Structure 1
Amino acid sequence: MDGRKGTEEDGAIREIFSMACDKLLTYTQLDCCSSHSALPWQGKNLMIHSITDPSQKPLHLTGHHGNVSAISFGKNRDPLMLCSASEDYVIAWDVARCYRKAREGAIVSGTVIGTLLGKVVHLSFCSLDKKVSVCAGSKIYILNSKKEEVLAVLKGHLGPVTASVFFPWDTNILVSTSEDRTFKVWDLAKEEILYQSAVLSGCPLLSVYVTEDSKQLITGSSDGQVWHHTVLDDYKCRLVTKLDLHNIEQKQRRIQESQAQQTAGISATTGDGVIVETVKPVLGIFTFKPYSRHTEERDGGCLWIGSSDGLYLVNLASSELLMAFHFKGFPYYPDLSITLAGSLAVTQTDCNIHCVVTSLFEPRMALWDIRLPGQLDGLCSQLEKAFPGQELSVVPSFPPMPTSPLNAELTRRDPNPPKKAGPGKPGGVKDQSVVFHTQVKSSGYAVCSQRKMFTPKTNIQKKTQRPTKTTKKIDGLLREYPSGLAAPSAQHTLLSASPTHTPVFCLQYSGNGKQVLCGLGDSSVLLYKCSLSGSPSVYTGHNKAVSSVCWSHSCGWFLSASEDQSLRIWAAGSKEPTLIMGRDRFSKPVRSAQFYYLDKFLLLASGSSVHLFLSHLDPTRDDIKRYEQKSFSRLVRSFSTKSGTDITAMSAINDFFSYIVLSCGADRSIQVFDLNVGSVAMEIPESHSRAAHHITQNKGSMYCSQSQDSYNLFLTSAITDGMKLWDLRTSRCVRKYEGHVNRCHQCTAAFSPCGRFIATGSEDNCAYVYDIRSSSYLYKLQRHTDTVLNVSFNPATPELLTGTLDGKLGLFRPGERASLP
């Protein structure tokens, strides 16, 4: 030991000790627990260092005749077990007994549990410390930890096995990774493979980790790729998400530089020297224990991923990098004796991390103490409020300001005011119509003057009995949305919306759930009953594909926008549009359009601007001057994006008063407009690896109530980058969904009215239903004939409607015929 000691001024990483070795220890398995760390010493021996009591002398263990190649601590603390391996022996040690023997001056010895198994590269205890898995060559030996006994030998990998761990909840199940770039799940009782993955990467898999609470399996490769799988009840594994350490680090650095430029007005620096891009092999995956409200996560939470150049704290749910400790670079700790790690092990105790590490190119090893409180709390608060001083929420907490564009009113002007009768004509014969046109006046010569005796009352309305409290249905619909039911999973109806197999580009239910609109690629709009029974009403007039449809809050109007740069508003039941807004209003196609602010405004996204219109809708028409519209609209204000990029998707809530409008740009950003102020309130850069093509909010339903905070959740979808769930209050991605296939088509997503489920289309002719709290999908809705482009939940009943690329509509309801993967 060379006596290098860290001080409190060394930064977040403090080197407790560093020592030279007699040989290079690259890729040698190290381990540490909450109380001790174990390192090879002088090749054939072991050194145990107390973390809780630094003043205690290190314990030296001897017994191997070959160089120690793997070390692992047991899972339990009473007694604390340690296992070490070399080419000659695998030895199990009782740490407390070894300390006691050393204090007594007796010979410290362990129990040989394996002999001549070959070069061991990895060891692992089961949760009960009764079994030890030994990886040697392409075989896995399962040994008894109390005596020399081989319980099982697992064969099946085509290359050397690199790591293996027991499942925490079942000691008879083991998972292993290999240089053949696959992982396997084993049944130890039958010595057979329960699940075998496909080839995941072009580089060997080095590490594996299994979480106990959420039953997640995480593997890492030598090129910095991390795969996140969920373990099903039958021990089959389903891929949830994949992330690249290098990519997420570069993204985090770009976001920080952008925020620094916006807040300080200066260019962010990344250190004194030039950043050299290095390969980031996943040397180990370790547990992260949250100790504050900022960092508590669900569904696997956060994990420490150790690589050759640093430690990375990664949120598995959102695939985001929360923190990085670099051994060399920025920030740089100059007093560290090791700048590139060949192997490492990490343990966390409350707010501190202890890390044992060996050098990649030098025969040296060290023990580090990493302090977390200030760094982590500062980072989390920075993430939770990326834009200080602004507390955004979809549900407003105060009325609109006097200068708000939302206070604009439309002066109603009747283009044909009625004519008043002259004072010199107090009576006379009234004009009577003799033709069927009610607007064409007659001279009245063929009608005799008659005295009106009485007018019969013909509009007598029968008194209807009010529904009692025990009534469960209103017009066939449930009074309250059954939020306790399962998600729709069984196909009820499948029909063709068009004989020409035109794509269904958009879907939307009316607010009462009785009707549904379908926008097709042949420029038509179809209006169906919610059950899809009977023939639909067809609305035509657009010249190109319909890009969006939207119901008004009152369900009396609906609009359709098209790629022909026009928007049409229709009255329910009328075959002719009430209002047409054409190319003279928009220079580019209308990407998204909807009613807004409880039907007071029309909100449209075209080009790089969001347009806010007031409109007067009058469905009456003159029978002769049919081309004249009595409806008209007026532009209140236009809001442009900061970068001037085109808007690809837009969303706002119309069911209640809200000032917030969300938009996605072609520059991959998400911009939040506050229409109460009339400007961009927040911008989230690089939301996806590609521009998001769809954004939708958790709008709830009049039939179901949710907590106020849940309305701040919204979803974005991007090609090749899955779906992301965002929280408007923190401007953070809180979860990512990648179980579906979305490589080229613009598949959309939707929230269920209860807010518990998310549905999305997919290119494998299926629709996927997710639990909002888990990144793994619940149901895979099959039996579609082509790519599912659109999905929509019925706001009144638990139904899901899907629209496909070949013009098919599918209706799904909860049932036993769920397509469970």
Structure 2
Amino acid sequence: MIEKLSLTCDGRLSHRQLACCHSYCGLPLEGKDMLIYSNVSNVEKELEPLRLTGHHGEISAMTFGKGSRPVLLCSASADYIIIWDIELCQKRTQEGKVAAGTVIGTSLGEVVHLAFCLSDERVAACSGATVYVLSSKRPDVISTLTNHLGPLTSAEFCPWNKDILVTTSEDRTFKVWDLKTETVSYQSFVLSASPLLSVLFLEENRHLITGSTDGQLWCFTFPDDHKCHLVTKMDLQKMEKRHQLHQLTVSYPTGGAEHSAVDKVETSKPVLRMASCSSLTDTKSVHEKNNSWLCIGSSDGLYVVDLATSELLTVLYFKDYHSLSITLAGSWAISSGWDKAMVFLVSSLFTSCVVLLELHLSDLERNWACGEGLSVYPSSPLLPASPLNAAFKKKEPNLPKKKGGIMEQPLVFHSKVRSSGYTSAPRRMMFSPKTNIQKKPSSKKVTNNTGFLLSDYPADSAAPTIPHSHLSTGNKPVYCFQYSGDGKQILCGLGDSSVLLYKSSLTGNPTVYTGHDKPVSSVSWSLNRQWWLSASEDQSLRIWTLGSAEPAIILGNSAFSKPIRSAQFYYLDKFLLLGSGPSLCLYLYNVDITRDNIKRYQQRSAVKLASRITTASSADITALSAISDFFSYIVLVCGSDRSIQVFDMNKGTVASEVPDAHSRAIHCVTQNKGSMFSTQAPDSYNLFLTSAVTDGVKIWDLRTLRCVRRYENHVNRCHPCLSAISPCGRFIASGSEDSCAYVYDIRSSSYLHKLQKHADTVLSVTFNPATPQLLTGTLDGKLRLFQSSSGACLSHDNSTAVHSIPNMTA
């Protein structure tokens, strides 16, 4: 931050509205006059400031127009409200004439705030509990609006609708006015215990932001019907603490942060003024927005917040710049970002000093342009010492060879032995071809029931929001889901330690698999869809094959000292990956489905530990995720210490770490894996989601390991509600404790749809990889299937069928 100008006035201007735009800045002089300075630097000579006279009372508010040509200035005092054409006034002054303005209002009281509309045709003047809408060309009061219970503090015209005005007041509410009817279209609830001070429109995503004197900010959607709903709430003090803690952790990674932290007196951080600025960092992220930065002028400095993530990017404190003439601010005037620079006019809180500051956005962007350079795609071949090389060894001495289940069995223990030749009549003809057989048409070969599973996933389809079917699993919580890769089957892990295997349409009776002693924490399909695994809180992992009621592999007993929180197949199904306690375990396995009818207790399948890696902080693993559809070295691990750790399995080490990624321990991490039916841009696969209780859902970019967006419209206070990314990469679904499932657009922080009609907390959500369908599971054991409105994706049944099954007990 550079101080371009410093002035000492004849009185304090700490609570007055000053004027600043990209070309000029203005401030009162001697109470009744005004000085207008040019913000454009002139190398040849310093231009004299323009002095404007015409008020008889003390000037209380000033503002510049939104247009660039001509530049208009509106000033207000108790006697007059005057409009000035700055360029015309400069011309008249150079000709030796007196600069004059146009009086548009007379004796409207003490005006505390002025605001132009986008076209500069109208001006809103806040005086007491009344807002006057005036014409900027003639002395005409267009509207007089009175409905607030306290004095007004700010007003702002809607940029995309000139007939909409929003006002804030000391009664701690904001109101949306329809200027055509001069009525209130929407009135907010009481937002805070402190008065609201400022309001700002964001035209890009049509949001409304308001701030209070205690540092609280609320971001609302602003739809056409003006029924605003809350997107996110921010607290400058809490964001500042998280930012400072993160900076200390980065500066002292070995634990020396506690020696650097000193006790500080907490001060209030009023939101005096806000302005949006463009983040012009040249990143290639598919879904990353580049205009979500918000500059907030407070009493102790300038705060830069990323609205997409609700996180504080940086703070520019006055105290850190010893060359500045002020230490505490009383009022701010902020211009728009032009030529990668922003201009601020700031008045001192306790002295009569006013300074003009300039900030280059490139200085802020440079701090955020560098990344970690990580990617889910491997950038180098396997190292000789990599634990992943174990999958390509030709000899595996510890794994038994596959043996036939009948060749080595004693003859006397069988009633029928094929090799004896006595069980059937002798053959008289070795081969007898069947001829003249009419081929019967088969309706089961390719039917409408599975036809949609053979087509590409529609990339432009709407979100699945139409209820299609539902059923009950017997009042047992549904903790986890996973569709098979072809989208034909779905695994459901329940709280009664069983696993149910359904068809994707949820029709027919499910196959029940039992064997665990505690709730199932995760399920995972193999790529060939011939076997799948289940992990449980009973410290065991089981691999099952289709058509068999007994597991092919049981891994547990004394192998793990703590429950398995998450498990899956990894590296094109060559490994088993699981987390237990602080250890990330990598196992080689060999599934042998043959069995000895006599020694059925002997397990022919084998498992061998390939690698065991401990988390950097020795914290217990709460969730993990890796991509098995192609060779990838990256494994994402979330710990009980609220961190995200990126493991490089090629090196067998922790490649990077994000400390304090959430305010609570992360219970869900989900990568954008796409599906075999959809195609996305390669960079999209570097996005992943994390969820934590009371801290919403965050989406991260693996290349920079920074949060790029945050979703917190859903309710998640105590239960581990899961989240999922659609195969097309456009939607995010999340469970919620208000008996609803929420569907978000990945490019926006506000939700698209709120799926109701659930009877209890929605714990699990998942998308079908082959067709636009969403499956939800609740705490009371109910499954509900939603489909998209873009055509009949369930062509075999277009009705809203309701199926139910009896209580499933082990």
- TM superposition score normalised by structure 1: 0.89
2:415 aligned residue: 435
Aligned partners of 2:571 and 2:438: how far apart in 1?
36
Alpha-carbon distance in 1 for matches of 2:633, 2:422: 60
**2:383 corresponds to which letter in structure 1?**
M
Q: Is 2:481 aligned against 1:495?
A: no
Query: How far apart, CA to CA, are the structure 2 residues paired with 1:376 and 1:736?
Result: 21
Question: Counterpart in 2 of 1:403?
Answer: 385
> 1:102 Cα shift?
1.7
- 2:170 aligned with 1:179: yes
Paired residue type of 1:304:
C
How many residues are treated as equivalent by the alignment? 777
Amino acid in structure 2 at the alignment position of 1:47: L
Q: Indicate the residue corresponding to 1:354 in structure 2.
A: 343
Q: Quote the Cα distance in structure 2 between the aligned partners of 1:775 and 1:415.
A: 53
Per-residue deviation, 1:75: 0.7
Match of 1:211 among 202, 215, 221: 202
Pairing partner for 1:247 from 238, 248, 258: 238
In 1, Cα distance between equivalents of 2:280 and 2:721: 39
Offset of 1:295 from its aligned partner? 11
Conservation of the 8 A alpha-carbon contact between 2:402 and 2:592: no
Q: Which residue of 1 aligns with 2:804?
A: none
Residues 1:570 and 2:544 aligned together: yes
Are the counterparts in 1 of residues 318 and 328 from structure 2 also a CA contact under 8 Å?
yes
Give 3-state SS (helix, strand or coil) of 1:507's partner: strand
Determine the C-alpha separation between the residues in 1 that align with 2:304 and 2:434.
Answer: 73
Q: In the TM superposition, what whole-angstrom CA distance separates every residue of 1:98-132 from its partner, at most 9, and x where no partner exists?
A: 11222222222222212222221111000111111
Distance 1:733 1:458, change over 3 A: farther
Query: Partners in 2 of 1:751 and 1:369 — Cα distance?
Result: 42
Q: Does the 8 Å contact 2:10/2:352 carry over to 1?
A: yes
Distance change >3 Å, CA 323–CA 432, structure 1 → 2: same
- Give, as a single letter, the amino acid of the residue that structure 1 aligns with 2:606: F
| Deviation at residue 793 of structure 1 after TM alignment | 0.4
Taking the aligned partners of 1:452 and 1:417, their CA distance within structure 2 comes to: 25
Spell out, residue by residue over 1:556-576, the C-alpha distance to the aligned partner (whole angstroms, 9 max, x if none): 111111111111111112111
**Matches for 1:372-521 after TM superposition, within 5 Å:** 372-373=361-362, 375-381=363-369, 384-385=370-371, 387=372, 391-409=373-391, 410-411=396-397, 412-414=399-401, 431=411, 435=415, 447=422, 452-456=427-431, 475-498=451-474, 501-521=475-495
Match of 1:340 in 2: 328
- The match for 1:92 among 77, 83, 86 is 83
Query: How far, CA to CA, are the matches of 1:294 and 1:395 in structure 2?
Result: 18
Amino acid at match of 2:75: S
**CA deviations over 1:401-442 (Å, ceiling 9, x no partner):** 221111114443148789999xxxxxxxx9588637x7xx99
1:627 equivalent in structure 2: 601
Deviation, structure 1 residue 229: 1.8
In the TM superposition, what are the counterparts of 1:138-287 in structure 2 within 5 Å? 138-262=129-253, 276-287=265-276
Q: Which amino acid aligns with 1:544?
A: K
Match of residue 357, structure 2, among 352, 368, 384: 368
Structure 1 residues 136 and 816: CA distance shift in structure 2, 3 A: farther
Matches within 5 A, 1:12-161: 12-22=1-11, 24-53=12-41, 55-161=46-152
**Alpha carbons 1:132, 1:144 under 8 Å: kept:** yes
Aligned to 2:583: 609
Are 2:511 and 1:531 equivalent residues in the alignment? Answer: no
Per-residue CA deviations over 1:221-252 (Å, capped at 9, x if unaligned) read 11111212221232222222222222222222
Match of 2:619 among 642, 645, 666: 645
The whole-number CA distance in structure 1 between the counterparts of 2:753 and 2:281 is: 34
Name the counterpart of 1:8. none
Structure 1 unpaired stretches of 5+: 1-11, 422-429
Identify the residue that residue 277 of structure 2 maps to in structure 1.
Answer: 288
Which residue does the alignment assign to 1:425? none
Report the AA paired with residue 398 of structure 1: S
Q: Which one-letter code corresponds to 1:317 in the other structure?
A: A
Q: Is the 8 A contact 1:593 1:603 kept in 2?
A: yes
Return the alpha-carbon distance in structure 1 between the equivalents of residues 351 and 264 of structure 2: 22
**Per the alignment, do residues 419 and 300 of structure 1 end up closer, same or farther by CA in structure 2, a change over 3 Å counting?**
closer
Measure the CA separation in 2 of the matches of 1:124 and 1:525: 62
Query: Which segment is superposed worse, 83-92 or 726-735?
Result: 83-92
Q: Which moved more, 1:767-776 or 1:223-232?
A: 223-232
CA contact (8 A) 1:32 1:356 kept: yes
Q: Secondary structure at the match of 1:105?
A: coil
Return closer, same or farther for 1:462/1:509 CA change in 2, 3 Å cut-off.
farther
User: Partner of 2:242: helix, strand, or coil?
Assistant: helix
- Mapped to 1, the partners of 2:284 and 2:98 lie a distance apart of 46
Task: Tell me the amino acid that sits aligned with residue 145 of structure 2.
Answer: L
Deviation at 1:478, TM superposition (A): 3.7
Does structure 2 retain, via aligned residues, the 8 Å contact 1:295–1:380? no
1:562-711, aligned counterparts within 5 Å? Answer: 562-711=536-685
1:743 matched to which residue of 2? 717
Identity %: 54
The answer (yes or no) to whether the contact 2:644–2:657 under 8 Å persists in 1 is yes
Cα deviation, 1:275-319, whole Å, max 9, x if unaligned, reads 543211111011314455269963752121111111122111122
Letter in 2 for 1:368: L
The residue type paired with residue 722 of structure 2 is T
1:18–1:462 Cα change, 3 Å: farther
Matched position secondary structure for 2:296: strand
State the distance in 2 between where 1:290 and 1:780 align.
Answer: 31
Deviates more, 1:446-455 or 1:201-210: 446-455
Which residue of 2 is the match for residue 553 of structure 1? 527
Cα distance change on mapping 1:658 and 1:350 into 2, 3 Å: same
Q: Distance in 2 between matches of 1:419 and 1:493?
A: 46
Q: What is the Cα-based RMSD across aligned positions, in Å?
A: 3.0
With structure 2 as the length reference, what TM-score do the two structures score? 0.90
Q: Distance between the aligned counterparts of 1:648 and 1:13, measured in 2?
A: 46
Stretch moving more, 283-292 or 140-149 = 283-292
2:797 corresponding residue in structure 1: none
Contact kept, 8 Å, 1:342 with 1:359, in 2: the verdict is yes
Letter paired with 1:85: A
Match of 1:319 among 287, 305, 310: 310
Summarize deviations over 1:332-370 as a string: whole Å, max 9, x none. 222222100000112233233321111111222222233
CA displacement at 1:203 relative to structure 2: 1.4
Structure 2 counterpart of 1:236, which letter?
A: K
In structure 1, distance between residues paired with 2:403 and 2:378 = 40
Secondary structure of the corresponding residue to residue 769 of structure 1:
strand
1:288·1:304 contact (CA, 8 Å) conserved in 2? yes
Query: In structure 2, what residue type is equivalent to 1:660?
Result: I
Report which stretch shifted further, 790-799 or 214-223.
214-223
Q: Aligned residue for 1:424?
A: none
Q: Is the 8 A contact 2:543 2:553 kept in 1?
A: yes
Aligned to 2:728: 754
Between the aligned partners of 1:104 and 1:171, the Cα distance in structure 2 is: 37
Q: 1:723 aligns with which of 697, 700, 704?
A: 697
Q: 2:761 aligns with which of 757, 766, 787?
A: 787
